[in-house]
Structure 1
Amino acid sequence: SVVAIVVLSLFAVATSSMATQRIVLGELFTNTSCGPCRPANLKLDTLAIEHSATLALIRYHTWWPSSADPFYQANIIENTARTNYYDPGYVPYFWIDGSPAGASHSYWDGMITNRESVPSLFEIHLDGSMGGDTGRLKAKIIITQAIPWPALVVRCVVTESNIYWPAPNQMLWHHQTMRDMVPGPSGTPITTQPGDTVEMSWYFTVDPAWVWDNCETVLFLQKDEEREVLQSAKLAAPAFAQRPATVHIDPDSVNIHLGSDFCYTATVTTHTGTQQCFYGIADVTLPNGNSYPGNPVAGPTYICVSPHQTKAIHICHTVPFNAPTGTYIYTVKIGTPPDDLIDEESTEFTVSFW
C-alpha cells in the first residue's frame, strides 16, 4: 500500500487571458482474456507514439471476462474503483478526457486530435524526485482564466509499461498499466479561484515488482459530476531526480488538547554511499492558513548521517492554552539554506479544548 501526504497552498497571481495546450487523458478498460482487447491495445500503442507530446494514457484491468488477469489482481481495489466510476458495459472501452469513446478504435485517432485542439484553462507543471523506494511528485496547477467550477478533484496515477507477459488473448507487451492511484481512487479535492496557483505534493512507494525506469506518473484534473477531465500532465520515471536523503515524521497523536504536547518522531534516511550532512528545521501552518510567526519551531539543527543509515529523534512541542483551535500543518524540512531543499514531509494535527 502507499502512504501519501498531500500539502495544498494557494497563492494569488495575476489572472492570465491565455489558454494552454491541452494534454488529453486516455483511459482504457481492458482484460488479458478479452479477444477484442488485443487490437484495441495495439491501436493504443500506436496512438501513444503518434500523440506522445499531447496524450497521457492509463490502462485499467477489469475482472471480466476473467478475474485471473494478473494486472487486475495486482491492484484489485483501485482497478475496481475506477471501473465502477465510469461503469463501462464491456471491454475494451476507451474514455477520452472523461467522455466515452467506446470500442471502435478506428475512430480514436480523430477523437483525440479533436480534443487536443481544445485549449485548456489550466497549466500543470510536474517535478519528481526519488529517495530509496519512495517517490515524490510535486505539481503546480495554474488557473489561467475564470472558471465556472470551483470544486475539482486532482488524481495521481503511477503506470508501468514494457511489461512482457504472454496473455490468453495473445498480447505479449503491456503498456501504461495502472499500478497505483495516489493517495487513492477518490483523488484529492481542491477549491480554486481564477488566478490561483495550487501547489501539491504526493509521496508513493515503488513496489519491488515494478521496473521503475518503465514507469510514469500521470496527473489529471477532473469534474466528478460530469466526469470531464480538464487538463492532464505526465512525468516519466527517468525525469525523477535522486534525493540523497529523505525525512519521515510519525506523530504520537494527531488529536491534541490545549496545554498538552504535540510529539513526533523524525526519521532521516540516507540513500547514497557517502555521509550526508544538512540542516533540519520545522515549520507550522496555523488553522487560518498563515505561517506561525515564530517559525521555525525547531532548528535549524545540523545533522550528519552515515551512508545508507537512518537517524531518528523524538521531538515535543507544548501547545499554549491561548493557541487557536483547529487543524495545523507541521512540516519538517532537510537541506542547506536558503535554497537547497533535499526533502520535506508534512502532517496535520488538530487542536481542541478537550
Structure 2
Amino acid sequence: MKHFFTLGLSLSLTMGTAFGQCPPGETEVTMTIVTDRYGEETTWEVTGPGGTPVYGSGGPYTQQPANGEYPQPPVSFCVPDGSVLEITVDDTYGDGMCCAYGNGSWTISVGGVDVASGGTFASSETSSVVIGKDLGVAALSMEAVIAQGSTTIEGTVANNGTEPVSGFMLAYAVDGGTPVQQTFTATVAPGAAYDFSFGTPWSATVGPHSIDLTLSGVPGDLFPGNDMLMQNVNVATQSVSRVVVMEEFTSSTCPPCASFNAVLDPYLSSLNTNEPGSGIVAVKYQMDWPAPGNDPSYNQDGETRRAYYGVTGIPDPFVDGVDVTTGGTDDAIMEHMTKAAFVDLITSNTISGTTLTVDVELTPYADFPGSHKLFIAATENYYPYPASTTSQDEFHYAMRKVLPNGNGITLSALQAGVTQTETQSHTFTIGNPAQGNSNLWGSSMNNITVVTFIQNTSTGEILQGGISQVTTSIGENELDRGLSVFPNPSNGLVFLDVELEQSAQVSYQVFNALGEIVRTESRSTPAGGQRFTMDMSDLESGLYYVSVQSGDMRATRKVTLTR
C-alpha cells in the first residue's frame, strides 16, 4: 500500500485531443504524466464540481519491462474561464506513481504555467484548481491538544487559481468571540502557498475551544468556499516531557537496511535509546523480504504493524507515527524531542521464570479526540546474527513480541484526569528464534526492554512513549552496575572501571554528539574488577558517549572533554 497525501492541486490527462489554442473565454490546461514501471495501475479524471462535466480522463498506461521513468505524451484541453476543476488520480495497486519502481509524477500547467505537481500518494489523491483568481485557507498549524498560555495563531493560505493574489486579510475568533484581524501584503503566485502568523497571540485557557479563521480582501475571488476554516483544540491542564518513539521496518536480507542501520544504531545509542530516563525509545520490526526473505525475527506482530502503516519498501523509519526519510530521521527525532506531551505513561514489569508481566498506567491531561490504542512491545536489546545476507550481523531494538498482539489494546476515550490501567503477560521461549515465533535470541530474560506507546488509530500520531527494562534477580545489568568512567569532565585521559561476574569479550565504542563512531576497541576481560585507560586527547572538546557491551548486556556513559 502507499502513503496517502492530499495535495493542494492536481490535474490529469485528457481524453485525447490536443489544442493549439483555446477560443475566447477558455484557457488551455495541460497535464504531463510520467509513469513508473507499472503504468497500467494509473488512471485519472478531471471534472467539474460533483463529477460533471468530465473535462478529461486518461489511463491506464502500459506496463514497462523495468523500473524507471516513462514520459507519456502531454495532453491539453480547453476549460471555460472561472471553472472549478476537481482532479482525481488513482493507482489500483495502492502505491502511487513514485518511488519504489521509478520516479513517476504528474505536472499540471494552466495557460502555459506549471501550477501543481505530485506523484507520491497511496491509492488516490484528489484536489481542485480554479481557472481564474482564488486564494483559500489551506491549514491552521495547531495540534489537537496544546499547552495553556500565550499561543501564536499560524497557518497557510494557498493560491489554487491561475492569477497571482497580492494582499489579503485574515481574522481569527476563539469560541465565537471578537475577531482578531490582520492585513497581509504578500503576493502569492498561482500554485504557491504562504505561511502566515498573527502578531496578536491567543491567551489559551484550559479546556475545549474552537478557532474560526476567515480570509477576505481578495477582489474577484471565484471560489469563496475555501475562505473559512474551523478547528477544535483542547488546552491541557499540564504537560510532561515527551518520550519519542522511533519505529523502523528493516530486514537482515536488505542491503540498504544494513547501510542505514550502520548510521542509525550508533546515533540511537548516543541518545541512550531504550535506557531509563532517556527521551527516546526504539522498536524495529524485522520483515521477511527482500529475497531470500529468511530473517528469523520476522513474525506476525511485525507484519500487522507493517500493514497498519502501509509499508511497501524498507528501510522505512517512523518517528512518533510519522513516516520520515532515512536521511531525515535524526532531524525528525530532534524536532519531536522539543515537543511537549500531554499524557503521563508509566510502565513497569515483573518476571516469573520466563513469563513477563507488564503493567501500564496512563493519565491524560486533556481530552483527546478520536480513538486510541496502547501498544506494548517487548524488544531484544542486542543479538548477533552472522548468517545475515548483508553486511549487518548485529541487531538492536528488535521487536520479539507485541502484547497481546500487533493490533494493540483499544483504550477508552482519553479524558483529562481519567487514569486507565492495563496488564498483559507473555511467556517466552529461550532460544531457537525462527520466522513466526517470538523466541528470544539471548540466553536469559536480561536482554529485554519493554517499550510502550499510545497511538491515534486514525491519524497514526503517537501521543507518548514509555519504557521499562526487565529486571531479574540474578545478573541483571551487571555491566551497567559495574561500569564507572572518570574523571568527568576529562582533559583526554579517561579511565574505565568494569566489573564482571565471569570473563567475557567486552567491546568499547566512543560516539560524538552526532552519533558518529570516533573510537572502537574489543578486549578479552577477566572476571572481577578491571581498569582500562582510554586516550581521547586527540578528540575535540565536547560531549561524547562511551558505550560498553558484553554479550546481552550494554551500558553507556557520557563524557565531557574540556581541553
TM normalised by structure 2 equals 0.38
Cα deviation digits, residues 129-180 of structure 1 (max 9, x gap)? 111111111111011223233x310011111022011211111210111100
How many Å separate the matches in 2 of 1:137 and 1:241? Answer: 17
Give the structure 2 partner of residue 309 of structure 1: none
How many Å separate the matches in 2 of 1:225 and 1:97? Answer: 14
Q: Structure 1 stretches (4+) deviating beyond 6 angstroms?
A: none
| Secondary structure of the corresponding residue to residue 70 of structure 1 | coil
Of residues 455, 462, 465, the one that matches 1:232 is: 465
| Secondary structure of the corresponding residue to residue 390 of structure 2 | coil
Cα deviation digits, residues 232-282 of structure 1 (max 9, x gap)? 1011123x679xxxxxxxxxxxxxxxxxxxxxxxxxxxxxxxxxxxxxxxx
The residue identity in structure 2 corresponding to 1:234 is I
How many Å separate the matches in 1 of 2:473 and 2:367? Answer: 34
| Secondary structure of the corresponding residue to residue 168 of structure 1 | coil
The residue identity in structure 1 corresponding to 2:401 is D
Give the structure 1 partner of residue 425 of structure 2: 203
The residue identity in structure 1 corresponding to 2:240 is T
Give the structure 1 partner of residue 318 of structure 2: 95
Give the structure 2 partner of residue 70 of structure 1: 296
The residue identity in structure 1 corresponding to 2:296 is P
Relative contact order (alpha carbons < 8 A, sep ≥ 6): 1 or 2 greater? 1
| Secondary structure of the corresponding residue to residue 372 of structure 2 | strand
Of residues 80, 92, 101, the one that matches 2:303 is: 80
Cα deviation digits, residues 115-140 of structure 1 (max 9, x gap)? 01111110111111111111111111
| Secondary structure of the corresponding residue to residue 109 of structure 1 | helix
Of residues 379, 393, 411, the one that matches 1:159 is: 379
Q: Is 1:60 matched with 2:60? A: no
* Identity, % of aligned positions: 22
Give the structure 2 partner of residue 286 of structure 1: none
| Secondary structure of the corresponding residue to residue 340 of structure 2 | coil
How many Å separate the matches in 2 of 1:188 and 1:207? Answer: 23
Of residues 382, 389, 402, the one that matches 1:181 is: 402
How many Å separate the matches in 1 of 2:238 and 2:271? Answer: 23
Q: Is 1:124 matched with 2:340? A: no
Unaligned runs of 5+ in 2: 1-234, 273-277, 432-439, 475-563
How many Å separate the matches in 1 of 2:351 and 2:287? Answer: 30
- The alpha carbon displacement at 1:208 in A equals 1.2
How many Å separate the matches in 2 of 1:59 and 1:214? Answer: 15
Of residues 358, 367, 371, the one that matches 1:137 is: 358
How many Å separate the matches in 2 of 1:39 and 1:206? Answer: 31
- The alpha carbon displacement at 1:103 in A equals 2.7
Instruction: Kindly tell me the number of residue pairs found equivalent between the two proteins.
Output: 221
Change (3 A) 1:126 1:225: same
- The alpha carbon displacement at 1:48 in A equals 1.8
TM normalised by structure 1 equals 0.60
Larger Rg: 2
How many Å separate the matches in 2 of 1:176 and 1:207? Answer: 18
Q: Is the 8 A contact 1:91 1:103 kept in 2?
A: no
| Secondary structure of the corresponding residue to residue 36 of structure 1 | helix
Of residues 317, 328, 331, the one that matches 1:110 is: 331
How many Å separate the matches in 1 of 2:423 and 2:378? Answer: 14
Q: Is the 8 A contact 2:285 2:398 kept in 1?
A: yes
- The alpha carbon displacement at 1:17 in A equals 1.9
Q: Over the residues paired in the alignment, what is the CA RMSD in angstroms? A: 1.8
| Secondary structure of the corresponding residue to residue 213 of structure 1 | helix
How many Å separate the matches in 2 of 1:183 and 1:91? Answer: 25
* Worse-superposed segment, 204-213 or 107-116: 204-213
Unaligned runs of 5+ in 1: 1-14, 243-354
Give the structure 1 partner of residue 415 of structure 2: 193
| Secondary structure of the corresponding residue to residue 156 of structure 1 | strand
How many Å separate the matches in 1 of 2:422 and 2:282? Answer: 21
| Secondary structure of the corresponding residue to residue 419 of structure 2 | strand
The residue identity in structure 2 corresponding to 1:97 is D
Q: Is the 8 A contact 1:130 1:241 kept in 2?
A: no
| Secondary structure of the corresponding residue to residue 268 of structure 2 | helix
Q: Is the 8 A contact 2:366 2:415 kept in 1?
A: no
Cα deviation digits, residues 283-302 of structure 1 (max 9, x gap)? xxxxxxxxxxxxxxxxxxxx
| Secondary structure of the corresponding residue to residue 176 of structure 1 | strand
Change (3 A) 1:163 1:16: same
Change (3 A) 1:60 1:148: same
- The alpha carbon displacement at 1:16 in A equals 6.9
Give the structure 2 partner of residue 44 of structure 1: 264
